[in-house]
Amino acid sequence: MTVGDNVIKIQNLSKSFGKNAVLKGVNLTLKRGENLGVLGKSGTGKSVLIKCIVKLIAPDSGSIEALGMNVLQASAQELTLLRGKIGFLFQSAALYDSMTVKENLEFPLVRLNRKLKRDEIDFKVVEALKNVGLEKSLYKMPSELSGGMKKRIGLARTLILEPEIVLYDEPTTGLDPVTSGEISELMVEVQEKFNTSAIVITHDMHCASVTTNRIVMLNEGVVFKEGVYEDLEKSDDKWIRSFFKHS
């Protein structure tokens, strides 16, 4: 995988909720073609960070540049265009319970690209499901899917818009080890097949080792350390070591 220029650049990003300062000046870059892992204890602002990138949450201060756009100064129309290029895989997969798998995948296409014809939409839906190995699940309801299948469908819905960047929020949480491994391998396939760049928020150290090219570790609201998995695993720092005890 060839890693190129920055597709996301975050500088001095801060966010508080009341008196709770979650992010206290985060600096971070994501390079083109790179999967960047973000590790940190619960409550350290990992999910807040990636929600700020697409302005689902507005930070208090700092700057965010994504795909050449100043996110915090973007208009509503510009943000909509940007969000079409940045796929967000929510922790829960966030499927619409009242819609079939097919309808769930059609939704972003219809909402963001009204010029597509019915046969074009149908083709894209089937292709997206093939990419995650679930083309036979077209007419299933979310209630009929396992946790791993929901994650795959969520990823298919993310990929259907052909994003340049994917933001993964705890992609393997709640899954058994075998299914977690399958999702991790699928994330690597997505990176290689579609040349996406990604930020991977995870507590799963196996997922971090398999899917990431580089890792940043958040502590006390700032980037405490960054490096490749193998180097961080050898660290003598007690706090860093705590992440690798069970990996």
Evaluate whether residue 94 is within a structural domain. yes
- Model confidence pLDDT, tens digit, residues 146-187: 888 998 898 898 889 889 999 999 999 888 899 899 999 999
Which tokens sit at 71? 């996110």
Which tokens sit at 202? 């995870």
Express the helix, strand and coil content of the chain in percent, nearest 5 each: 40, 25, 35
Evaluate whether residue 2 is within a structural domain. no
Spatial CB neighbours of 64, under 8 Å, sequence gap ≥ 6: 8, 9, 10, 13, 52, 53, 70, 71, 72
pLDDT value at residue 115: 80
Evaluate whether residue 58 is within a structural domain. no
Alpha-carbon span 64 to 246, nearest angstrom: 34
- Model confidence pLDDT, tens digit, residues 62-115: 999 999 999 999 999 999 889 889 998 877 777 888 999 999 999 888 877 668
Helix (H, G, I), strand (E, B), or coil: what is residue 226? strand
Which tokens sit at 140? 């299933």
Evaluate whether residue 152 is within a structural domain. yes
For 185: left if phi > 0, alpha if psi spans -120 to 50, otherwise beta; the answer is alpha
Alpha-carbon span 146 to 68, nearest angstrom: 38
Which tokens sit at 161? 């818009």
Whether 60 and 15 have beta carbons less than 8 Å apart is answered as yes
First-to-last alpha carbon distance for the chain, in angstroms, is 25
Evaluate whether residue 8 is within a structural domain. no
Evaluate whether residue 163 is within a structural domain. yes
Evaluate whether residue 23 is within a structural domain. no
Helix (H, G, I), strand (E, B), or coil: what is residue 43? coil
Which tokens sit at 70? 């100043």
Whether 101 and 129 have beta carbons less than 8 Å apart is answered as yes
Q: Which helix (H) or strand (E) holds 89?
A: strand 86-89
pLDDT value at residue 54: 92
R_g over Cα of the chain: 18
Residue 123's domain spans which residues?
A: 35-43+74-244
Helix (H, G, I), strand (E, B), or coil: what is residue 49? helix
Query: Which amino acid appears at position 222 of this protein?
Result: V
- Model confidence pLDDT, tens digit, residues 132-147: 888 889 999 999 998 8
Which tokens sit at 146? 């396992």
Alpha-carbon span 155 to 182, nearest angstrom: 13
- Model confidence pLDDT, tens digit, residues 208-247: 999 999 999 999 999 999 999 999 999 999 999 998 875 4
Evaluate whether residue 6 is within a structural domain. no
CATH number of the domain encompassing residue 85:
3.40.50.300
Structural domain tally of the chain?
A: 1
Q: What is the pTM assigned to this prediction?
A: 0.90
- Model confidence pLDDT, tens digit, residues 35-49: 999 999 888 889 999
